[in-house]
C-alpha cells in the first residue's frame, strides 16, 4: 500500500510517500513559507532535489502542489493519485483523549480541536492538513498519529504535578510528554535489533535532537518521560531551558519588565545550550569545535547538557528498578559519539562499558557497548515517518 505521510506545521509541511510493503520512501520533501510566498522541495527516490518557488497562500495550494509533484509526468513517483491508499498525519497533542493512533472521523477532529489549547501552534495546523487532504483526496482513509499517545501509559505518580488536583481535573495540567512516536519506534527497534522480548524489557530511550527528551519504557510501555505539559520541560536543549525553578518566571519577568509570555519566549528560544554559550550556537558541532578551541562557555554548555541526560537516566534506572537497554537517537543521539561517551562515563556503576570503535559508526543500528557490558547501549536512528506509516496500515487493517 502507498501511504502519504503529512506533518503539517503552521507555515510549513513535510511529506513522504512510503510503500508500506517494502518500507521504501518513494518521494519526500517539504513546503516552506506557506502564507508568506511559498517554496516546494520535492525529491523522488534516487533523484536530485527539485526546488520550486511558487505562491502558496494557504495549505490548500501547498498540498495541491505536493500532489501535482507526486504525479508529475517527468519526476512523479506515481502515475495516478488513486495509488495513494491512505494518509497518515502527525498530530502533536492528543491530551488524555488518545492513547494510540486513530482513524480520522468527525469525532476525532472534534477531540483534537478540544486539545488545541494544550498545543495552540501545532494542533490547528495539523487539523488544516487533515481537512485539506479530505478535500483534495475525498474517500482516502486518514489516520492521526499523536506525539503524546505513547506516554499515556504513565502512572499517576509520574504524570501528576504536585499542584492542587482541581487544576489537573479542570484544566488538564499534567505531564503529557512528546516525541512519543520516536520513543515508541526506537524502543521497539532496539528490542528487535538486540533479539530481546519487548514484553520483558526495561529500556531507556534518549531522543537527543534540537528538542530532546528521555523516556523510561517497561515491557514496551512508557512509565515516565522528561517533557511535560509542553515540550519546554526536562533536559537542557538547543534553545530551550528545560527544567528550572518555576519562580524564575516571575523573578526574571520583574528584572526585565516582561510578562510571563515574554519570559517563556526567552526560555523557549534563547536558552538551552544556545543561551549558555552566550548565543554562540545551538548546534553541537559548533559547540564542540568551540569547546575544543578552549571556549569556556561552550564547554559548560556541553557539560550542562550531558549532566542533565545523566541525571535523568539515573532517575529512570531508579524508577524502573534497573535497566537492560539504553538507546540513543535523533540528531545528537545518532551522530555525536562524544556526547554518548561522556554520558555513559557516569554509568560504570551499572557495569556499562562502551566500545570506542563501535561508538564511531554512524547511520545504522549499532550496539556501542562491549559484549561483557551488563547493560546494552545502542544507537537506533529514529524514523517517525515510517512509524506513522506502520501505524496507519495497522489501523486500517483492523
Ligand atoms: P529536531 O528534529 O529536534 O530539530 P534533530 O533530531 O534533527 O532535531 O537534531 C538536530 C541537532 O543534531 C543539531 O542541532 C545538532 O546539534 C545535532 N547534530 C546533527 N548532526 C550532528 C553531528 N554530526 N554531530 C553532532 N551533533 C549533530
**In the chain, where are the structural domains located?**
2-146, 197-384
Give the relative orientation of helices 123-136 and 106-114 as an angle to the nearest 10 degrees: 160
177: left (phi over 0), alpha (psi -120 to 50) or beta: left
Q: Which ligand 1 atom is at minimum distance from the Cα of 283?
A: 16
- Torsion angles phi and psi, residue 376, rounded to 5: -80, 130
Report the pLDDT value the prediction gives residue 202, as an integer from 0 to 100.
98
Residue 284 Cα, ligand 1 centroid: separation in angstroms?
7
Report the pLDDT value the prediction gives residue 315, as an integer from 0 to 100.
98
Report the pLDDT value the prediction gives residue 10, as an integer from 0 to 100.
83
> What is the CATH number that goes with domain 197-384?
3.30.420.40
User: Percent of the chain having pLDDT more than 70?
Assistant: 100
CA pair distance 341, 363, nearest whole angstrom: 17
Over range 208-235, report the average pLDDT. 97
* Residue 200: DSSP 8-state: G
Residue 220 Cα, ligand 1 centroid: separation in angstroms?
26
- pLDDT tens-place string over residues 166-194: 999 999 999 999 999 999 999 999 999 99
The model's confidence at residue 120, banded by pLDDT at 50, 70 and 90, is: confident
Q: Residue whose CA is closest, atom 20 of ligand 1? A: 331
Report the pLDDT value the prediction gives residue 191, as an integer from 0 to 100.
98
- pLDDT tens-place string over residues 332-361: 999 999 999 999 999 999 999 999 999 999
Over range 239-245, report the average pLDDT. 97
Report the pLDDT value the prediction gives residue 140, as an integer from 0 to 100.
97
Report helix, strand or coil for 64. Answer: helix
The yes-or-no answer to whether 2-146 and 197-384 have a common fold is: yes
CA pair distance 390, 185, nearest whole angstrom: 10
Q: Residue whose CA is closest, atom 13 of ligand 1? A: 283
Active site residue 147: yes
User: Does 246 score more than 90 pLDDT?
Assistant: yes
2-146 belongs to which homologous superfamily?
ATPase, nucleotide binding domain (3.30.420.40)
Report the pLDDT value the prediction gives residue 296, as an integer from 0 to 100.
98
Q: Residue whose CA is closest, atom 21 of ligand 1? A: 335
CA pair distance 196, 29, nearest whole angstrom: 35
- pLDDT tens-place string over residues 294-317: 999 999 999 999 999 999 999 999
Q: Is the CB of 335 under 6 A from ligand 1?
A: yes
User: Does 154 score more than 90 pLDDT?
Assistant: yes
- pLDDT tens-place string over residues 124-153: 999 999 999 999 999 999 999 999 999 999
Lowest mean pLDDT among 18-32, 110-124, 210-224, 276-290: 110-124
Q: Is 364 exposed, middle or buried (0-12, 13-18, 19+ CB in 10 A)?
A: exposed
Q: Is the CB of 129 under 6 A from ligand 1?
A: no
Average per-residue pLDDT for the chain: 97
Report the pLDDT value the prediction gives residue 139, as an integer from 0 to 100.
95
User: Does 236 score more than 90 pLDDT?
Assistant: yes
User: Does 121 score more than 90 pLDDT?
Assistant: no
Alpha helices in the chain (DSSP H): 59-71, 106-114, 123-136, 156-159, 165-171, 180-194, 247-256, 260-269, 272-276, 284-292, 296-320, 330-335, 337-344, 384-396
Amino acid at each position: 500500500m502507498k501511504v502519504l505521510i503529512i506533518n503539517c506545521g503552521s507555515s510549513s509541511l513535510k511529506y513522504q510517500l512510503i510503500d508500506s510493503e517494502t518500507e521504501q520512501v518513494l518521494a519526500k520533501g517539504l513546503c516552506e513559507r506557506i502564507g508568506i510566498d511559498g517554496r516546494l522541495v520535492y525529491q523522488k527516490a534516487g533523484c536530485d532535489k527539485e526546488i520550486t518557488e511558487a505562491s502558496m497562500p494557504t495549505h490548500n495550494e501547498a498540498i495541491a502542489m505536493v500532489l501535482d509533484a507526486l504525479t508529475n509526468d517527468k519526476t512523479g513517483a506515481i502515475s495516478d493519485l488513486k495509488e495513494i491508499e491512505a494518509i497518515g498525519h502527525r498530530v502533536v497533542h492528543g491530551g488524555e483523549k488518545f492513547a494510540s493512533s486513530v482513524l480520522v472521523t468527525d469525532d476525532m477532529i472534534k477531540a483534537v480541536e478540544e486539545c488545541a489549547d494544550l498545543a495552540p501552534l501545532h494542533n490547528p495546523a495539523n487539523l488544516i492538513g487533515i481537512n485539506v487532504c479530505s478535500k483534495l483526496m475525498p474517500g482516502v482513509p486518514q489516520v492521526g498519529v499523536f506525539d503524546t499517545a505513547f506516554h499515556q501509559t504513565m502512572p499517576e505518580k509520574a504524570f501528576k504535578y504536585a499542584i492542587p488536583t482541581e487544576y489537573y481535573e479542570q484544566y488538564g495540567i499534567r505531564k503529557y510528554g512528546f516525541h512519543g512516536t520516536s520513543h515508541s519506534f526506537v524502543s521497539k527497534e532496539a528490542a528487535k535489533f538486540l533479539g530481546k522480548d519487548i514484553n520483558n524489557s526495561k529500556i531507556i530511550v534518549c531522543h537527543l535532537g534540537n528538542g530532546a527528551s528521555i523516556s523510561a519504557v517497561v515491557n514496551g510501555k512508557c512509565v515516565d518521560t522528561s517533557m511535560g505539559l509542553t515540550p519546554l520541560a526536562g533536559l537542557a536543549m538547543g534553545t530551550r531551558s528545560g527544567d528550572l525553578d518555576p519562580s524564575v518566571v516571575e523573578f526574571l519577568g520583574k528584572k526585565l519588565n516582561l510578562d510571563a509570555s515574554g519570559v517563556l519566549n526567552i526560555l523557549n528560544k534563547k536558552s538551552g545550550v544556545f543561551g549558555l554559550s552566550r548565543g554562540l550556537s545551538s548546534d553541537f558541532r559548533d559547540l564542540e569545535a568551540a569547546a575544543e578551541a578552549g571556549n569556556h562557555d561552550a564547554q559548560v554548555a556541553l557539560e550542562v547538557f550531558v549532566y542533565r541526560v545523566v541525571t535523568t537516566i539515573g532517575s529512570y534506572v531508579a524508577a524502573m528498578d534497573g535497566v537492560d537497554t539504553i538507546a540513543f537517537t535523533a540528531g545528537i543521539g545518532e551522530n555525536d559519539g562524544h556526547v554518548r561517551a561522556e554520558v555513559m562515563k557516569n554509568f560504570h556503576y551499572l557495569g556499562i562499558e562502551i566500545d570506542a570503535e563501535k561508538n564511531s559508526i554512524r547511520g545504522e543500528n549499532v550496539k556501542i557497548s562491549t559484549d561483557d557490558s551488563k547493560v546494552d547501549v545502542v544507537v537506533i536512528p529514529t524514523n517517525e515517518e515510517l512509524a506513522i506509516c506502520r501505524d496507519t496500515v495497522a489501523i486500517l487493517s483492523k
